[in-house]
Structure 1
Amino acid sequence: MLSQPTFVPVGTQATVKSLSPEELEAIGVEIFFCNTYHLYLRPGDKEVRKLGGLHQFTRWNGQLITDSGGFQVFSLAKDHNGAGNLVKITEDGVEFRSHLDGSLHFFTPEKSLQIQHNLAANYLIAFDECTPYPATKKYAQKALDRTHRWALRSLAEHKKLNEKLNQDLKLYGVIQGSYYRDLRQQSAEFICSQDFDGIAIGGVSVGEPKDKMREAVSYCLPTALKANKPIHLLGVGEIDDLFDFFGQGITSMDCTLPTRMARGGQFLHRTGDINLDLKNNFKNQIMNAKYKMDQTTLDPNCHCPTCQKYDKAYIHHLFKTQELLGYRLMTIHNIAFMINTTQQIRDALKNDTFNQLKKSWLGRI
């Protein structure tokens, strides 16, 4: 069983960038997110199936989740010469060109589920249309209606494949509706009424202001909670998000934040000064000159392998010289920070001390 709540690191290409499965396990990672679109293109879902599925392919003993591929189809599938977006949406599915070589492909709900069943992660996502921000209400309604029809087709294909392949994979339906209250509520009611194993909230963190993102989630969360199923928030996961959404009943979130930050030399830490932490969003930059001779760890309260052994001065040097070890050490720390913060939240929810914990971090309940 997956712990609840859980932060889910992103391993787009079936790897959390630069880290081995053993390193992920050592810092408490239970599950990570793989990308269907990318793995379909390279190495190919059929190839992964022949190699034993994602677990055997990656040698990962924990759990895995794959998305539907829809988000990347709409956001990445552009002409490989940069000539613009070449995505064609029909009732049947989406025609797109690979961002790698411009080759033409067609995803349907059925195709997405066939790919995901070949990859064989523990948790799958129904094929949906991720509405861009901003979107007119007319377009958002049209996309939502199509997403609901695709959800039913995804569910039917999933059940068929589970039986045919003797699998017991779990499927999440996706709530959409852009930032319109009535559409979000309509979508929540529809998705929650279907026989999905879990509920995913999608179409957020796609370029909208954070207050709009929070509003969109608030419109559909009450209905989702009534379904008494796991709820995954797609693509969200800053520190304040962990407290705000896990505290409201979201059971899992995925985000590229810790690995993306690590690539740029940013590390997560908590100074204890709430105003300073909030101002910096719990982030700092290791390449700052003040760390050149700093022999303290990235975070004094972190017990990850990086903080147990290395100081800021050495990691500063690694980033200044563009050594890959710096990136690895920073990635270990940032993911461990998210995992450990989630563990604190999990314990506080269990012990009925969540409000005190949240206030000590964010200065508010």
Structure 2
Amino acid sequence: MAAQKKQILLNAFNMACVGHINHGLWTHPRDRSSAYNTLGYWTDQAKLLERGLFDGLFIADIIGVYDVYGDGIDVTAREAVQLPVNDPTVMITAMAAVTEHLGFGVTINVHQEAPYTFARRLSTLDHLTGGRIGWNIVTGYLDSAHRAQSGGTLPAHDRRYDYADEYLEVLYRLWEGSWDDAAMRRDRAARVFSDPAHIRKVAHRGEFFAVDGYHLSEPSPQRTPVLYQAGASGRGRAFAGRHAECVFISARDTATARESVRAIRAEAVAAGRNPDDVKVFVGLAVIPGRTRAEAEAKRDEYLSYASPEAGLAHFSASTGIDFARYGLDEAIPYAPGNAIQSATAAAAKRGLTK
């Protein structure tokens, strides 16, 4: 029996900043990313992606700064390494207004906002996009974000996922349980816009959250938006197996990708779900050309504008290791830390030096 063909889903990957992933390319004469703070930049991009039949635009975000490398932001600021960075949610409605089919996956940290008001934010976006919104759930990995918000330090890695589990529990109850579909009457003659008999208060008291109130939004097209997740640690995969519909992974080769996909789908099964309920997106930088030689020439041109030190500043934040302290070929003592554990483990496995 022939294997069933699967449809490839394509997301573009961007961020509300100048220097997202390929650091240094903002200096290329054809680069437009410095216009990131104009509405036309985003609406033009949305129309281009829809014309190119992309399924969605995935928007990354952070709520801290990359200040590990050199114990400061000198390189981060000079090279625009995800700084400055704007709120990723604000331009989504404008992009939705100029498209019909393009989906939007937006990254928002669970530590950024209380679940009660966040539930309304996502319901509003779901209404205004006509059900085209997705949420990339992140637990954060930057000490700088916690210092800026509360003066505190970043909670332990696995503890952040415990917090996120309860955060989702509250959201599910608000999105799915507070309003029945029958609540929406819109009956002018009877003067009943929504029927209170079909609206319930959510009462939750847990370890991290206490909620006693009604969801502020009427049921949106999806109620719960499409849920993305990108954690590749053991605890992150368990969280994805329980909650995520889409998982973003990074893999250098097919063997690594295969291993990651199997692990994620095994966690979905352990959570009582169908393994195929989880769609996996692999991060790729694609350089097109009419011939291989043309594509390679483009790649070489782009690399000539790249900033290796900016890349180090980014990777230092990802691992929690200040690479400015090491020589080019000096061995680096990798150890499990409190930042992105999968990034540290991958570097340790390959024995990467600066």
Question: What TM-score comes out, normalization by structure 2 length?
Answer: 0.41
Higher relative contact order, chain-length normalized (CA < 8 Å, sep 6+): 2
Q: Who wins on radius of gyration, i.e. which is larger?
A: 2
